[in-house]
Structure 1
Amino acid sequence: MRGPVAWLSRLSARRAISRPAPLPVVAVGSLSTGGTGKTPTVIALAQRLAGQGREVHVVTRGDGAAVRINEREHRAEEVGDEPLLIAAFSPTWTALDALEGINAAKAAGAEVVVLDGGVPDGTVSATLNILVEDAVRGFGNGRVRPFGPLKTSLQQGLTHADLLISIGPKQAQERFAASVETGIAQSFGRLVPLQTGMTWSGMRVYAFAGIGVPERFFATLHDAGAEIVARHALTDHQELTAALMTRMEREAWALGAQMVTTEKDAVRLPTDMRRKVLVLPVRMELDDWAPVDAQLLSLFDPA
């Protein structure tokens, strides 16, 4: 059997083989392509579980066998910028096979895993499936790529989800909630600057970001009171080469501005630039954690 029918049959068979995980798994993914706020959500959930006294590890997709990330030794070009950032907050593993990473985490003492990126092709049984979406963009035109922003059909994606976390300002949240009936529980979140004692108000800044939605970072920096005199939206995960950094440093100096970037970009900075660039850290906060906490607690007490 060849052609599209054979391909669909193989895909259905692969998705039907769902391997059980040896411990509770919270899968965090998105139906939409591009930046949705998934990485800050993974960090927030891992910290929330740790605050509840749980030994939590994060497993994210890698290129080979399961490897535990050491944020002091590994580099972004080796393990990826997002896993390297997450590793600063929680024990983090990369693995091509999600179940291999989960088993490695359990062997290292984890009692719950946050699976960054969601369940690949449904090949691992997650205990709790969470979708993270950008409230501003919503589900776009509701069509699957390449004709729209969705990785899979909206109906299929929502069928396998237990909770939707939408991230964005209040008005965008209201529009998104009214645009589609999801049929699942929904929580509303936002990205807020971490209070570090840094005074951004009135600071002239040269902002650059290589994330899924750079405009979100620029808006957060503006809302913090910074005067953005130049902004550069790089491609997601763009390499911060010496030539690029030298050019931006010269431009910032000519404008009398301080270079500022995101936490994710900061882990890709050349070593000699790290003392020259300020970082605006953000954290994901929910309007109400109670519904999420209830689901997290049910991982260990299903009754």
Structure 2
Amino acid sequence: MHEPAFWYRPPSLASRLLMPLAALYGAAAAKRLAHVGVDAGIPVLCIGNYHVGGAGKTPTVLALVDLLREAGEAPIVLSRGYGGALRGPVKVDPARHAAADVGDEPLMMAERVPVVVARDRVGGAALARSQGASVILMDDGFQNPAIAKDASLIVIDGDRGIGNGAVLPAGPLRAPLPAQLARTDALIVIGDGAAAGPVAAAVAAQGGPVLRAYVTPGEASVAALRGKRVLAFAGIGDPQRFFRTLRASGVEVVAEKAFPDHHRFSEREIDALAGQAERDALTLVTTEKDLARLRGTTAAASTIVAFAVTLRFDDETKLLRLLTDRLFKARAKKFR
């Protein structure tokens, strides 16, 4: 579904009318957050966000995978597999699974790191451990109390922040902000925007590190689109961020089309986009996550270019120090 526009505007009548429902939802979510989870037996680092929708969580997970590997760790990603039919636990196999089986994000990440999909997080953690993980990276699941987390790193978009700051359905928050802040070990702000400033100040005030990171286009992707006019489309949490990234990279975006997050593209939709691109002499371009959902759906999908991005941290040394410190403390606690 598309996010309601009023979520990211100043408090409105629509938001105020939904406040009673938001109060009930928020109370239940805060109570759930307070539950004590099961010990997975190995360190668990959770990469989450405070709200529904996109914030840059997937590139953050992949960047942390690289850092942990450089530190000698063997990370495995644990995901709920949103949008996939398999309940798991199952290790994602890109040669055998489709996005309809395991979800688009797990399928995309499995090209670079072992990924386990499981509705039951405890069962998923057990499978990850049996597969040789030295540390589990939970992709999302910050509000899920099933597994005890040794550190929760929250990703927030610098341009969008937390919108109007209200809880679902009055706003985008998954739980009241104070309850979520209390369980935040570090905040990662994506981009230069100031909308995340108040949240960053609150995390810093309670002693949590605040890190700044930037989405960096892949050199090969930029080179592939240099001098071309493109039709860009995306079905992610914040499609406009994707379109801005393309333009900031020097790509000439002639037309753009936004779809809901995790949108399941029909053959008709892709054929229509391909037809428009052919008619106007444009190159079709989308995100890696979207292309994962399109794999094998229609012949026209083979003409689509995926625009790859990575995440660059301002202070990678500070982040690595945080990760290694948390891993050391987690292991020391387990061997007492």
Normalising by structure 2, we get a TM-score of: 0.82
Is the aligned partner of 1:39 residue 2:63? no
Does the 8 Å CA contact 2:94/2:111 hold for their aligned counterparts?
yes
Is the aligned partner of 1:181 residue 2:202? yes
How far does residue 79 in structure 1 lie from its aligned partner after superposition?
0.7
RMSD of aligned residue pairs (Cα, Å): 2.3
| Higher relative helix content | 2
* Shift in alpha-carbon separation, 1:120–1:151, aligned structure 2, 3 A: closer
- Distance (whole Å) between structure 1 residues aligned to residue 122 and residue 58 of structure 2: 20
Does the 8 Å CA contact 2:189/2:212 hold for their aligned counterparts?
yes
Name the counterpart of 2:4.
none
Name the counterpart of 1:48.
67
Does the 8 Å CA contact 1:15/1:121 hold for their aligned counterparts?
no
SS of the aligned residue for 1:124 comes to coil
Within the candidate set 145, 155, 161, 1:138 is matched to: 161
Within the candidate set 255, 272, 284, 1:259 is matched to: 284
Q: How many residues align?
A: 296
Could you tell me which runs of 5 or more consecutive residues in structure 2 were left unpaired when the two chains were aligned. 1-22
Q: Deviations over 1:210-268 (max 9, x none)?
A: 11101111111111111111100011111122111111111111111011110001111
How far does residue 121 in structure 1 lie from its aligned partner after superposition?
3.1
Does the 8 Å CA contact 1:201/1:224 hold for their aligned counterparts?
no
- Distance (whole Å) between structure 2 residues aligned to residue 152 and residue 64 of structure 1: 25
Does the 8 Å CA contact 2:36/2:148 hold for their aligned counterparts?
no
SS of the aligned residue for 1:115 comes to strand
**1:259-298 equivalence runs, <5 A:** 259-271=284-296, 272-298=299-325
Name the counterpart of 1:165.
188
* Shift in alpha-carbon separation, 1:15–1:97, aligned structure 2, 3 A: farther
Could you tell me which runs of 5 or more consecutive residues in structure 1 were left unpaired when the two chains were aligned. none
Greater shift, 159-168 or 268-277, is seen at 268-277
Within the candidate set 129, 140, 150, 1:127 is matched to: 150
* Shift in alpha-carbon separation, 1:65–1:256, aligned structure 2, 3 A: closer
**1:1-303 equivalence runs, <5 A:** 12=31, 15-62=34-81, 64-168=87-191, 170=192, 172=193, 174-178=194-198, 180-182=201-203, 183=206, 184-196=208-220, 198-271=223-296, 272-302=299-329
- What percent identity do the matched residue pairs reach? 32
Query: Residue type of the partner of 2:202?
Result: E
- Distance (whole Å) between structure 2 residues aligned to residue 10 and residue 34 of structure 1: 17
- Distance (whole Å) between structure 2 residues aligned to residue 231 and residue 47 of structure 1: 32
Normalising by structure 1, we get a TM-score of: 0.91
* Shift in alpha-carbon separation, 1:8–1:206, aligned structure 2, 3 A: closer
Name the counterpart of 2:7.
none
SS of the aligned residue for 1:125 comes to coil
